[in-house]
Structures are given as structure tokens and as C-alpha cells.
Amino acid sequence: MAIFNFLERYQKATQRDYVQRVVEHDKADCAVVAKQWGADYWDGDRRFGYGGYSYDGRWLPIAHDIAKHYGLKSGDKVLDIGCGKGFLLYELTQAVPGIEVHGLDISAYGIEHAKEEIRGQLLEGNCTSLPWPDDYFDFVISINTFHNLKVFELHVALGEMERVGKRSKWFCVESYRNESEKVNMLYWQLTCMSFYAPNEWEWLASSTGYRGDMGFIFFE
């Protein structure tokens, strides 16, 4: 199990006011709205989530990095667990022509407003029960999804990720390395249910039989 932070360049470009997130609005009320995974979360006011999530090409360099690292090639089957609007999956088809992409997300709104070119390959569903057979995918990815699960759900979801992937796997979650980053994470997050340091995530993943890689987003 190795650690790769493919999203580091993207995260460092994002500016956040952690304190404002807490004091400007009722954080609890905002979290309730965010966890509906609807229009407010994706394209509503920033206090509920993304504040507008539209395609702008930012995922293409990340897609190239991931494809190169894992040696993805034409004909490979790829699954994104928690694919949202499918922007990364679309960029993977641009980085690796001929790749076969699939996605699953709990948000019907996200899928309905996904990139048109791949919308037909996306399914609404829960990551604790993946509707594909064992060893179906060459590469399975999940970004900013597993930390939204309770620990008993997380245990099942990681096992499912391991089950459907026959080769490479990588997931990325929000985490913290010190008290400052933990406070910033608590201030900023809206949907997290699992708050763990990197070594805890490693232990938890190993305990499920997960044999892939992982990465972390830190709130410096």
C-alpha cells in the first residue's frame, strides 16, 4: 500500500477561509442541506458545498498523472466510486483514448448534470454495494467519498472496492497530520463522517483486505 497525492496541485490552488465558513452561517444547517447531495450541494451557494461545479478542464493534468502512474491503456476498464459529475472520468478518456469508463454516485443530480459524453456510463447507487462482478475493473478510483461514510459503511465499501478491482486501486480522502489541520478540516467540512489521521486510514484499509493505494487532502 503506497501513498500518492495526485490532487496536491489542485488543492494548493484552492483558497479557503476556514473561520468564515463557521461564523458566517449556521454550519449545522448547511451540512444538513449538503448531505442531500442535490442542486444546493453542487451548484448552489458556497456555504452548501461547491458553490457551482462546472467543467473547466482542471482535471486533465491530474488524469494524465494518474494514467501515467498506473499505466492505463486503451481497452482498460476504469471505475470511479463517487464520480459526481464525471469530470475526471471524461478527462481519463481524453488522456487515454479507447479507455472504458464507468462511474457510480449517490447523487442523482450529479449524474443528471454530468459530462454529456460519459453520462450513459454513470449509475446512481451506494458504494457499499457495487453492481459489478468480481475482478471486473483494471483500475478503481475514489476521490472524496469514503470519508463521508460511517465506519461500518466504510469497512464494507473498501471491501467492495477491492472485490471489483483486479489490478490497481487508489482512493483519496480528507485527513490531518496535526491539530491545526484537524481544526481546519472540522471547520471546512460539510459531509464528513470519518475523521482519521493517515496512519489510521492505512490501518483501517488494511483491516478490510484492501490492497490498493491511497492519498490524502490536508487543510493547511
Q: How far apart are CA 35 and CA 18, in angstroms?
A: 19
Average pLDDT over residues 113-119: 97
pLDDT, tens digit, for every residue of 129-184?
999 999 999 999 999 999 999 999 999 999 999 999 999 999 999 999 999 999 99
- The confidence score (pLDDT) of residue 21 equals 81
HSE-up of 88 (CA within 13 Å, CB side)? Answer: 23
Average pLDDT over residues 183-192: 95
Ramachandran class of 144: left when φ > 0, alpha when ψ lies in -120 to 50, beta otherwise = left
pLDDT band at 13 (very low <50, low <70, confident <90, very high): low
> Nearest Cα to 144, choosing from 10, 28, 1, 2?
10
Q: How far apart are CA 176 and CA 158, in angstroms?
A: 20
- The confidence score (pLDDT) of residue 126 equals 97
pLDDT at 12 over 80: no
Multiple choice CATH, 8-217, 1.10.10.10, 3.20.20.70, 3.40.50.150, 3.60.15.10: 3.40.50.150
- The confidence score (pLDDT) of residue 127 equals 97
